[in-house]
Chains A and B, each alone.
Chain A
Amino acid sequence: MSNAPKAPAAAGRATTKKELPEHLKSYKHVWVFVEQERGQAHPVSWELMGAGRTLANKLGVDLAAVVIGAKNEQTQSVLHEAFCYGADLAYLVADDLLKDYRNESYTKALTDLVNLYKPEILLLGATTLGRDLAGSVATTLLTGLTADCTELDVDAEGSLAATRPTFGGSLLCTIFTLNYRPQMATVRPRVMPMPDRVEKLVGRVIEHPLGLVEDDIVTKVLAFLPDRESSKSNLAFADVVVAGGVGLGSPENFQLVRQLASVLGAEYGCSRPLVQKGWVSSDRQIGQTGKTIRPKLYIAAGISGAIQHRVGVEGADYILAINTDKNAPIFDFAHLGVVSDAVRLLPALTEAFSKRLSPHQRDRLAS
């Protein structure tokens, strides 16, 4: 009895596609929920617009952005951005009660829109906000929801094929929501590439009222404490990432990863076991249950390349792997491989880079 991904035993039954019930046939078009918290659109929404565009084109339907927020300029500017990232039209629920994210009010806004305008596909970011909202909306609508997808496609019959890692293990599975609408999926930030922004005017906007007063909403926001800038790592957006895994052997050796990262002006990261061991803080974990990265260069030292790690780094342009085991799975998806002891190679690499890149760095390192 597992949740979302079910045992492969389901496969036999699943291949028999039933005719969509009559009342669901009118569900058309691809929607992306544009997430904003306190007036700022989350980049994952634009990444989803890119993915949504491909789906909409394959299906020959429209791509719509759903914007929910306070009735103010910030919401207007998010709406404008949605068109710049490819929306054909937008649905808007603007009300000052929607200034802060609250489950009750946002669930009402989004389910009302779905019931009224009937999308066939609804995509949300797998952020704390997106997951909070998607779970409520899918249960209210009694439809299927596939969480944390790594790939989205439509099959020959026009159904959404949502692929995600499964069994916490070495497998991927493709999940369909055949006889229910909308077909809902969430995708984590940085999993899909960021599409180009093209300046556009605001196009067709369909506005819908929220239909609530403050007294209808039980939960009150007492305060919002923003994260301190300094405590945020820029791992997800870094151009170069250096990461270490269990193969480094000790927390002291993990310093070698930090030193190389520092010389490169890069961010550092790690595999999950190092977080569990307490060597590295959890915001540095890369992979399915950590951050997804899309750097130009990823250097992985002493990391075996398990699927949960792999799905977090596959968007990298170029992967260099250092591992003592030439059969380690990481070499199946790295571009350049060195079979070597990372504990010895990393310092040599750090020194070589610092000499090559900027002489004053070398001086600093020596002092």
Chain B
Amino acid sequence: MHIVVCMKQVPDSAQIRVHPVTNTIMRQGVPTIINPYDLFAIEEALRLRDQFGGEVTVLTMGPPSAEDSLRKALSFGVDRAVLLTDRFFAGADTLATTYALATALRKIGAEFGAPDIVFTGKQTIDGDTAQVGPGVAKRLGFIQLTYVSRINSVDVDKRLIEVERRAEGGVQQLQSRLPCLITILEGVNEIRVGSLTDALKAARAKLVRWSAQDAGVEDITKCGLRGSPTIVKKVFAPQPRAKKAEFIELGDKPGEALVEALFQRQTNLESALEKLARGY
């Protein structure tokens, strides 16, 4: 079985700061990590390989520095890492991203064997759209299984797969066919600590590094900023409310004082709360 995991290197964005005057993002010195949601995809892929044999390839589109995350993935025991990097990819929105990734996935299929399953994480913490998985599936003509919480069975010979998928108000049990693209739900497994051998291999491994041309991109205008139908016109800090909060001092009976202050300002609140507190 050949499994490919799409993963992204993201800024550890809890630490991103905004310049107070120019309102631009200060990316310098922000550490990067593997998108946390993608770790579940990597682990699920490794488990399937351990069970059925075969290979796991990880693929990322990103700047040359994304190599760090690929090596990290190799240290978990992934067999092969592909870095898709080219200035033509810069500024891609989801549609342009899926064009590049799907092109690279076809090339991976041609070079290393057709993928049976492609995994993505549920979403990234920087783009945060949860759309790249579905987009890649569509472009490859793969069946798409999103928000998968459990893979119940895979029959490689019959090309069948059964999964559980989080839906609104319940869980769908689905039977579908390989090849498919699965976006995996968070929390379904825990990424392994790689073996020492894998850690050593990871440090020395040769990555597969492809430019747009290497990957077989035919139409460069479909990549990056040029290939992106969405355009960011304005980036801005949220407006403070016209008025800041009214601060109150509470004195020596703080509980009573605060309840009183609330009910004075929100006159309907007391009766509403009385009803709620009685369980209506």
Q: Which residues of B contact A318 (CB under 8 A)?
A: 265-266, 269
A297 touches B269 (CB 8 A): yes
B276 touching A168, Cβ below 8 Å? no
Knowing A1-B62, A138-B131, A225-B173, the reply to whether A345 touches B254 (Cβ < 8 A) is yes
Known contacts A101-B167, A168-B14, A338-B247, A219 near B176 by CB under 8 Å? yes
Q: Cβ of A356: which chain B residues have Cβ within 8 Å of it?
A: 256, 259, 270
Closest to B275 in A: A265
Is A358's CB within 8 Å of the partner chain B? yes
CB-based contact B147/A3 at 8 Å:
no
A218 pairs with B259, CB closer than 8 A = no
B191: Cβ under 8 A from any A Cβ: no
The chain B residue sitting closest to A238, CB to CB, is B276
With known contacts A177-B229, A218-B177, A358-B277, A352–B259 Cβ distance under 8 A: yes
Chain B residue contacts of A10, Cβ below 8 A: 91, 225, 231-232
Q: Does A100 contact B (CB under 8 A)?
A: yes
Stretch at the interface among B111-119, B208-216, B238-246: B238-246
> Which of A35-43, A62-70, A77-85 contacts the other chain?
A35-43
* Shortest distance from the beta carbon of B201 to any chain A beta carbon, whole Å: 27
CA distance A101 to B147 in the complex (A): 14
Establish whether residues B131 and A339, one from each chain, have CB atoms under 8 Å apart when the complex forms: no
Total chain B interface residues with beta-carbon distance under 8 A: 97
**B245's closest neighbor in chain A, by CB?**
A337
* Contacting pair B91 A348 (CB below 8 A): no
- Name the A residues within 8 Å of B11 (CB-CB): 167-168
Closest to A130 in B: B168
A240 contacts chain B at the CB level, 8 A cutoff:
yes
- List B contacts of A1 (CB < 8 A): 61-63, 89-92, 97
**Chain B interface SS verdict (over half):** mixed
B13 touches A173 (CB 8 A): no
- Report yes or no: B234 in contact with A307, Cβ–Cβ below 8 A: no
A129 to chain B, nearest CB (A): 6
Task: Closest B residue to A10 by CB, please name it.
Answer: B232
* Complex-state Cα separation, A171 to B22, whole angstroms: 12
Chain A interface category by residue count: 35 or more
Question: Contacts A131-B146, A135-B135, A361-B277: A170 and B237 contacting too (C-beta < 8 A)?
Answer: yes
**Residue ID in chain A nearest B96 by CB atoms:** A3
Binding site for A on B (CB under 8 A): 11, 13-14, 16-18, 23-25, 61-63, 89-95, 97-98, 124-135, 137-139, 143-147, 162, 165-177, 187, 225, 228-238, 240-241, 244-248, 250, 253-256, 258-259, 261-262, 265-266, 268-270, 272-279
Across the A-B interface, give the 3 residue pairs with the lowest CB-CB distance, nearest first. Answer: A3-B127, A135-B134, A352-B255
Beyond the given A37-B167, A40-B169, A331-B244, please list 19 additional residue pairs across the A-B interface where CB-CB is below 8 A.
A1-B91, A3-B126, A3-B129, A8-B235, A107-B138, A128-B165, A129-B168, A135-B132, A144-B93, A147-B128, A147-B129, A171-B18, A264-B277, A297-B269, A336-B246, A339-B247, A348-B253, A352-B255, A357-B277
Q: Supply 10 A–B pairs (Cβ within 8 Å), ascending by A.
A: A4-B230, A7-B91, A135-B130, A174-B234, A220-B175, A225-B171, A264-B276, A350-B255, A356-B270, A358-B274
Q: Which residues of A contact B (CB under 8 A)?
A: 1-11, 13-15, 35, 37-38, 40, 42, 100-101, 103-104, 107, 127-129, 131-132, 134-136, 138-140, 142-148, 161, 166-180, 218-227, 239-240, 263-266, 282, 288-289, 296-297, 307, 310, 317-321, 326, 330-340, 344-345, 347-354, 356-358, 361
